[in-house]
């Protein structure tokens, strides 16, 4: 019986991309519009983002950062001040050329990222070592002129936060870069229930204008990787391009050292592809807009709705609880809240009320249990924590089962020819030529040089020369 409800969702084994699109639309996370490549984030999708955002914003503030807001537009001349930066972004920016009826004297870019605006501002407000560090963050929309788009994963416009900091020393900038990467890892693992691999990007994959880029990489159900957040150490490159100098304690002019770090709506895509199943979304309790949905059974019978509402009110102080008292059939309600991935369903009908019990159903495992009514609050609290932990453990198990250590290039190529390649750990010589060759021949890219290095061999998996680093490779979104 259950099956007929989900007949509209393509099975992920049959067509993963189609499954993804089915889920994001049927769970009402997004809708399309006549704006190419952009998405409408619907109430349920936005509530999810608000919960993730709030959790991260608290961590950003707790680590001493302050929120600011920079302009949406960037004059062309400002964007081009740092050479690598403009080269990286020029192909993918939207240009404003007219205001009202007038052609502009200078074209404006719709921000793809705001480094240059922060740099200009910092050059105005930083004068002395007393002004350092500056620890700013911005929540905003950004635009990148992508050709192929997919909701959350790659869109013309997306929402994010971008942190931009300025420090007196290179050491402080490096500490900040890693600190914020760790915060991102914390949010992903503890709130989104997604295990991450932390590491450094290769020169080829680093951010335009950065000295070093760090990343958290996650593995999706289909064996592809998703770069889930990045943190960059800029050294003093931008400071020199924008003349951000300060008087140090010795009375000398010195350049600041800068970082930037970003976390986007893309993680909602990761959430879907790490936890979802063929019945729809599965949302970890800590970020679930609704943690428990009450579905009254035989609600037309006397006392059922009163009982259900009283139960809702008794839970509402510490649990995000909803109730569906509409005239839809319970089966349809079950289907809808499974599609939306609500962690727990609470059923209560006349027989339950008589027996002084309710039924709880876990979305993640499908497990159903009968609980005494006077213990329900306590049980739910424990269950929500259990579900949160179990979801992380299951995702970690999936990742470990789909991470291979490979030493021969033949095996490497064969793996990436397969349907669900996963992460491949392999040694690398450090040369760009091997990365290029691997990408050309397998479509895999270096995801990161993980902080946790192991030696699984002495030679580069591609060229056979001496290896310097273990690298995580994957096909990626």
Interface with its own copies, residue 70, by CB under 8 A? yes
Q: How far is the CB of 363 from its own copies (least distance, A)?
A: 22
Residue with tokens 């993963």: 16
Binding mask 292-331 for its own copies (x = CB under 8 A): ----------------------------------------
Told to check if 34 binds its own copies by CB under 8 A, we report: yes
**Helix or strand holding residue 377 (H, E):** helix 376-401
Residue 39 contacts its own copies per CB under 8 A: yes
Longest dimension (CA), the chain: 82
Residue whose C-alpha is closest to residue 276's, from 264, 265, 266, 268: 268
Least CB distance to its own copies at residue 400 (A): 35
Name the minimum Å distance from CB 200 to its own copies: 29
Distance CA 155, CA 375 (A): 46
Q: In this chain, which of 4, 14, 101, 250 binds its own copies, going by CB under 8 A?
A: 101
Phi-psi region of 209 (alpha: psi -120 to 50; beta: other; left: phi over 0): left
Q: Which of these ranges, 61-69, 171-179, 361-369, 452-460, lies near its own copies under the rule CB under 8 A? A: 61-69
Strand extents, DSSP E, 126-280: 134-143, 157-167, 197-200, 212-219, 225-235, 245-247, 253-255, 257-264
Closest CA to 65 of 129, 118, 138: 138
State phi, psi for 113 to the nearest 5 degrees. 180, 160
Q: Which is nearer to its own copies, 38 or 169 (CB)?
A: 38
Q: Which stretch binds its own copies (CB under 8 A): 31-39, 226-234, 238-246, 406-414?
A: 31-39
Taking CB under 8 A as the criterion, the residue among 2, 11, 17, 96 binding its own copies is 96
Contact call for residue 148 and its own copies (CB under 8 A):
no
Task: Give the distance from CA 328 to its chain's centroid.
Answer: 34
User: Residue 157 or 189: which CB sits closer to its own copies?
Assistant: 157
Query: For 233, how many CA atoms within 13 A lie in the half-sphere containing its CB?
Result: 20
Q: Which two tokens stand for residue 85?
A: 């930066």
Choice from 84, 131, 157, 190 touching its own copies (CB under 8 A): 157
Residue 75 lies near its own copies (rule: CB under 8 A): yes
- The values of phi and psi at residue 464, to 5°, are 80, -5
Out of 8, 13, 31, 397, the only residue in the binding site for its own copies (CB under 8 A) is 31
Cβ-based nearer residue to its own copies, 55 or 68: 68
* Pairing outcome for strands 253-255 and 212-219: unpaired
Strand 66-67 relative to strand 134-143: parallel, antiparallel, unpaired?
parallel
120 binds its own copies (CB under 8 A): yes
CB 290 to its own copies: min, Å: 12
> First vs last Cα of the chain: how many Å apart?
35
- # of chain residues touching its own copies (CB under 8 A): 53
The reply to whether 373 sits near its own copies by the rule CB under 8 A is no
The reply to whether 99 sits near its own copies by the rule CB under 8 A is yes
User: Quick check: 191 and 268 in contact, CB under 8 A?
Assistant: no
Piece of the chain touching its own copies by CB under 8 A; list 140-148, 250-258, 409-417, 464-472 = 140-148
Q: Can you give the binding site for its own copies, defined by CB under 8 A?
A: 31, 33-35, 38-43, 46-47, 49-50, 66-75, 77-78, 90-101, 108, 110, 117, 120-121, 124-125, 136, 140-141, 143, 145, 156-157, 159
């Amino acid at each position: 019986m259950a099956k007929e409800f989900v007949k509209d969702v393509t099975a992920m084994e049959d067509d993963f991309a189609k499954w993804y699109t089915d889920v994001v639309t049927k769970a009402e996370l997004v809708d399309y519009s006549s704006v190419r490549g952009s998405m409408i984030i619907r109430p349920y999708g936005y509530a999810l983002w608000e919960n993730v955002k709030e959790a991260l914003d608290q961590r950003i503030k707790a680590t001493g950062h302050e929120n600011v807001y920079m302009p949406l537009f960037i004059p062309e001349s400002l964007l081009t001040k740092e050479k690598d930066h403009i080269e990286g972004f020029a192909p993918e920016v939207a240009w404003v050329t007219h205001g009202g009826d007038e052609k502009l004297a200078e074209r404006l870019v719709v921000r793809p990222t705001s480094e240059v605006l922060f740099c200009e501002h910092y050059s105005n407000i930083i004068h002395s070592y007393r002004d350092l560090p500056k620890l700013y963050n911005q929540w905003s929309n950004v635009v990148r002129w992508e050709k192929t788009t997919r909701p959350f994963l790659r869109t013309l416009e997306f929402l994010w936060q971008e942190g931009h900091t300025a420090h007196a020393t290179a050491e402080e900038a490096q500490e900040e870069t890693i600190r914020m990467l760790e915060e991102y890892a914390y949010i992903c693992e503890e709130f989104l229930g997604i295990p991450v691999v932390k590491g450094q990007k290769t020169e080829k994959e680093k951010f335009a204008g950065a000295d070093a880029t760090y990343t958290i990489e996650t593995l999706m159900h289909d064996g592809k990787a998703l770069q889930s957040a990045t943190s960059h150490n800029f050294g003093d490159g931008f400071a020199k391009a924008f003349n951000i100098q300060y008087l140090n304690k010795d009375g000398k002019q010195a350049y600041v050292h800068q970082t930037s770090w970003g976390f986007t709506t893309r993680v909602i895509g990761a959430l879907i592809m790490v936890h979802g199943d063929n019945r729809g979304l599965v949302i970890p309790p800590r970020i679930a807009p609704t943690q428990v949905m009450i579905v009254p059974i035989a609600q037309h019978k006397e006392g059922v709705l009163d009982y259900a509402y009283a139960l809702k009110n008794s839970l509402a102080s510490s649990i995000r609880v909803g109730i569906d008292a509409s005239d839809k059939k319970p089966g349809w309600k079950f289907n809808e809240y499974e599609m939306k991935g609500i962690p727990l369903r609470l059923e209560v009908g006349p027989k339950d009320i008589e027996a002084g019990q309710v039924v709880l159903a876990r979305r993640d495992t499908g497990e159903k249990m009968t609980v005494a009514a006077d213990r329900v609050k306590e049980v739910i609290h424990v269950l929500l924590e259990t579900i949160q932990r179990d979801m992380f453990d299951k995702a970690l198990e999936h990742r470990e089962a789909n991470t291979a250590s490979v030493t021969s290039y033949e095996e490497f190529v064969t793996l990436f020819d397969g349907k669900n390649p996963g992460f491949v750990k392999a040694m690398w010589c450090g040369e760009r030529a091997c990365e290029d060759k691997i990408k050309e021949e397998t479509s895999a890219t270096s995801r990161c040089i993980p902080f946790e290095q192991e030696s699984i061999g002495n030679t580069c998996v591609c060229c056979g020369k001496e290896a310097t680093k273990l690298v995580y490779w994957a096909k990626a979104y």
